[in-house]
């Protein structure tokens, strides 16, 4: 029975977790602040025992902070470190237990991760990540310059070196770069009882997040997969070939990561085998790797929409942050200058009808909003490979029709508001027509800009918004002021 006023458990848990993270960060910051205050007080002590007292206090402070950090989950430690200024972050990082460092690095954002790794010696990095899976090590080393990454690999165990180099050999954005090299294979002529004995012997080193066994032939080529429930709920004397799924979803190492993401979402996959070009099983792709890739892609797209090419540390140096943002600010300044020249060309009509200055930003704004909605749909269609020639024509007609409907509706609303404010029928008609025409421009630009960028091999996410704003602003001003010059003077 539903309870009126009952809380949403997921929402409650999410809020509790957020409060936990905030408390963890506050506790670490408080400990660091207290240490700084105590050191400052001791600096004024001139007694003979000053050095001894200082050393004892420093050890106590480090022990307290290390104990507090040691009680956190690696993801929480990463969150705390990302929230600290560089000096405090370095102090806290040195107190993280060596056994936890690799897991903490895996949870960090790219900007902070790169900063920490670049300040560490190759042997220190190797010691921190040595106990991680080879694919996780490869993910971390991708953040380093090639020469430093090779120095770190040289300090790893020989088996890890070969596996890490194998993963790093696959281009970024492919399934091979995402796959997990730890998996279980069996032959299809084995019986279920033999597989159960195998799993019991390997119980301490079973792959993490494994829910199926890959079935191969003598050449290690894929024959099928068998889920654990099929192993448990069938008779022990049955052969694997009788119960396995002989037509599983699988990927090749050179498949695009985007295709794998779509397949996992479409078919609700948990994991899938990965094959090389000879159909030999070389790894598996898991849902946790897919989720990580989706999150990274979403964050990268969000940054690119705002003109940032990569993640930026909250406490990054001012010069590097300014350099990162500068090019898009320059482009924005150029487009704003063009819009200002359009306004200047109609200075005479604006002087005669001051109401135009108050109304023209509305025309530009509503066009930009419509265009951004169209851009988002086109980019999504490109990402999902849904825009063939026929689909493109249908989408353009649809967006043009939507722009016509919205232009007529909201142009009329704006015309009525203008009539109520200025009591001028001609001005009301001009702004209604200007809204309709600018929405047509916005719809056309919203389709054309991302398609053009995509056609020339550019990322449509990065730059579409700036270019669209330039067009809708400039054309909005030009259409509105041009109609006013033709019809009102």
| pLDDT(19) > 70 | no
17 to 6, 11, 23, 109: CA distances (angstroms): 19, 10, 10, 19
State residue 208 phi and psi, 5-degree precision: -70, 145
pLDDT band at 36 (very low <50, low <70, confident <90, very high): low
Q: Quick one: CA torsion of 97, 98, 100, 102, rounded to 10 degrees?
A: 150
pLDDT band at 388 (very low <50, low <70, confident <90, very high): confident
| pLDDT(54) > 70 | no
pLDDT band at 276 (very low <50, low <70, confident <90, very high): very high
pLDDT band at 7 (very low <50, low <70, confident <90, very high): very low
Check if the beta carbon of residue 204 is closer than 8 Å to that of residue 177: no
- pTM for the model: 0.64
Least confident range from 58-72, 376-390, 469-483: namely: 58-72
| pLDDT(14) > 90 | no
Please give the pLDDT value at position 11: 43
Q: Where is pLDDT greater, at 306 or 268? A: 268
| pLDDT(331) > 80 | no
**Which pLDDT tens digit goes with each residue over 154-208?**
989 888 888 888 888 898 889 999 999 889 999 999 999 999 998 888 887 888 7
| pLDDT(295) > 90 | no
**Which pLDDT tens digit goes with each residue over 208-231?**
778 899 999 999 999 999 998 898
| pLDDT(38) > 60 | no
Q: Where is pLDDT greater, at 287 or 56? A: 287
Q: Which tokens sit at 76? A: 């929480």
Check if the beta carbon of residue 290 is closer than 8 Å to that of residue 261: yes
At 47 the three-state DSSP class reads coil
Q: Where is pLDDT greater, at 5 or 488? A: 488
* DSSP conformation letters of 68-125: HHHTS-HHHHHHHHHTS-HHHHHHHHHTS-HHHHHHHHHHS-HHHHHHHHHTS-HHHH
**Which pLDDT tens digit goes with each residue over 432-451?**
999 999 999 999 998 988 88
Percent of the chain with pLDDT over 70: 80
Q: Which tokens sit at 13? A: 């848990």
CA distance 89 to 137: 22
Least confident range from 3-12, 125-134, 268-277, 410-419: namely: 3-12
Mean pLDDT of 281-309: 76
Please give the pLDDT value at position 57: 57
Least confident range from 232-246, 253-267, 458-472: namely: 458-472
**Which pLDDT tens digit goes with each residue over 223-254?**
999 998 898 899 989 999 999 999 999 999 99
| pLDDT(282) > 90 | yes
Q: Which tokens sit at 126? A: 């190797």
Please give the pLDDT value at position 280: 95
Check if the beta carbon of residue 113 is closer than 8 Å to that of residue 105: yes
Please give the pLDDT value at position 246: 93
**Which pLDDT tens digit goes with each residue over 79-108?**
888 878 788 788 888 888 888 899 999 888
C-alpha Rg value of the chain to the nearest Å: 30
| pLDDT(315) > 70 | no
């Amino acid at each position: 029975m539903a309870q009126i006023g009952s809380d949403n458990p997921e929402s409650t848990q999410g809020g509790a977790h957020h409060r936990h993270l905030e408390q963890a960060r506050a506790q670490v910051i408080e400990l660091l602040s207290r240490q700084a205050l105590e050191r400052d007080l001791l600096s004024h002590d001139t007694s003979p025992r000053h050095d001894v007292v200082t050393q004892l206090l420093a050890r106590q402070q480090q022990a307290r902070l290390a104990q507090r950090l040691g009680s956190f989950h690696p993801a929480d430690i990463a969150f705390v470190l990302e929230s600290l200024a560089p000096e405090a972050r370095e102090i806290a990082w040195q107190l993280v237990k060596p056994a936890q460092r690799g897991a903490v690095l895996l949870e960090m954002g790219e900007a902070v991760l790169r900063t920490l790794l670049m300040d560490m010696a190759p042997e220190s990095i190797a010691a921190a990540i040595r106990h991680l899976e080879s694919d996780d090590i490869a993910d971390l080393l991708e953040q380093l310059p090639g020469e430093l990454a090779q120095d770190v690999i040289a300090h790893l165990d020989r088996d890890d070196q070969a596996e890490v180099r194998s993963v790093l050999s696959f281009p970024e954005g492919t399934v091979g770069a995402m796959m997990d090299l730890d998996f279980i294979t069996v032959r299809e002529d084995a019986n279920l009882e033999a597989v159960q004995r195998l799993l019991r012997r390997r119980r301490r080193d079973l792959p993490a997040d494994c829910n199926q066994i890959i079935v191969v032939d003598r050449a290690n080529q894929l024959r099928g997969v068998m889920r654990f429930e099929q192993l448990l709920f069938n008779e022990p004397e049955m052969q694997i070939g009788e119960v396995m799924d002989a037509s599983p979803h699988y990927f090749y190492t050179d498949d695009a990561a985007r295709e794998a993401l779509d397949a996992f979402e479409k078919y609700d996959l948990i994991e899938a085998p990965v094959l090389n070009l000879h159909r030999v099983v070389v790894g598996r792709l898991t849902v946790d790797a897919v989720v990580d890739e989706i999150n990274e892609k979403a964050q990268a797209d969000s940054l690119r929409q705002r003109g940032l090419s990569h993640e930026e540390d909250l406490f990054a140096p001012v010069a590097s942050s300014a350099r990162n943002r500068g090019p898009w600010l320059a482009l924005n300044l150029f487009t704003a200058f063009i819009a200002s020249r359009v306004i200047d060309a109609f200075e005479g009509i604006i002087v005669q009808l001051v109401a135009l200055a108050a109304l023209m930003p509305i025309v530009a704004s509503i066009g930009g909003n419509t265009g951004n909605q169209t851009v988002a749909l086109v980019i999504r269609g490109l990402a999902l490979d849904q825009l063939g020639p026929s689909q493109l024509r249908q989408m353009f007609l649809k967006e043009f029709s939507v722009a016509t409907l919205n232009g007529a509706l909201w142009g009329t609303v704006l015309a009525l508001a203008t009539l109520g404010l200025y009591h001028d029928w001609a001005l009301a008609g001009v702004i209604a027509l200007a809204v309709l025409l600018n929405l047509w421009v916005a719809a056309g630009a919203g389709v054309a800009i991302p398609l053009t960028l995509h056609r020339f091999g550019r990322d449509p996410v990065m730059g579409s918004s700036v270019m669209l704003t330039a067009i809708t602003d400039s054309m909005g001003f030009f259409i509105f002021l041009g109609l006013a010059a033709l019809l009102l003077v």
